[in-house]
Amino acid sequence: MTRMVRLPDGTEVPALGQGTWHMGENAGRAEAEAAALREGIAHGMTLIDTAEMYGDGGAERVVARAIAGLRDRVFLVSKVYPHNASAAGVARACEASLKRLGTDRIDLYLLHWRGNHPLAETVGAFGKLVAAGHIRYWGVSNFDTSDMEELAALADGGRCAANQVLYHPDRRGIEFDLLPWCRARGMPAMAYSPLGQAGRLLRSPALASVGARHGVSAAQVAIAWSLRDGNTISIPKASSLAHVAANAAAGAVRLTAEDLAEIDAAHPPPPRKQALGML
């Protein structure tokens, strides 16, 4: 059974989705990348995350190929560049993303990170897109707790549906204050790069040990770990069918208290406030 996470209004979305960072950068790989995304949809990973930044729009075009004929099965997430986050810029960027994605709506539209345009202006532009039916929900990415508090104080700032942040066992700083803040408001976090970078995390003896108990890989343990609290959406990327199947299987792994204690010992939770990690 597919794990689900609730948005603040109660809408359920898959907890385990698919990322597309670095997709769409090579035309020769586009069909294989689209095939991997379609395979993920078949495995129940129907939440797909992309951005206008990825591959300079190329990832959105790959997603369009993947979801052709399947749009109504997919919860589609994309992101707007901060320099496009003015009132007029958001509307133009969303229109361009919709065209590249081959759809009339984006389910969740995120501000990729904070820029120079006032948050109130961006939120107002998001609200107009919702009213026009171009997006269903809006949210943010790479926002720390202070950013979220500033956002929440704005008129309509409380309509933020999610915050997408870097999160994996080696980058746990958000557990100190940001995750509790989101949880208290019924707002899910979206964990990007849940497998870490450059393979370092996947060489963790603790993840390997836990994986051995469950008969799965360290990568699958890392994904299962990111899903453990029931309020986090994890968006690992996979570019091969085998990798997609492995990611999907990770959604069925339930970590025990013993497993979590072993991971905590090797990758400890934060004892104090830490700077928000970002890629």
If DSSP codes are grouped into helix, strand and coil, which group holds residue 66?
helix
54 noted as active-site residue: yes
Q: Alpha-carbon torsion 234, 11, 186, 115, what sign?
A: positive
The CA distance from 90 to 125, in Å, is 6
Q: Which two tokens stand for residue 203?
A: 């060489």
Whether residue 214 contacts residue 221, with contact meaning beta carbons closer than 8 Å, is answered with: yes
DSSP string, 134-179: SEEEEEEES--HHHHHHHHTSTTGGG---EEEE-BTTB-GGGTTHH
SS3 of residue 13 by DSSP = strand
CA angle 110, 248, 99 (to 5 degrees): 35
The span from the CA of 26 to the CA of 31, in Å, is 10
Q: Which of 54, 109, 137, 192 is catalytic?
A: 54
- Could you tell me the two tokens for 273? 């406030």
Per-residue burial over 37-49, b if 16 or more Cβ lie within 10 Å, else e, is bbbbbebbbbbbb
Three-state SS at 75: strand
User: Which residues does the annotation mark as catalytic?
Assistant: 54
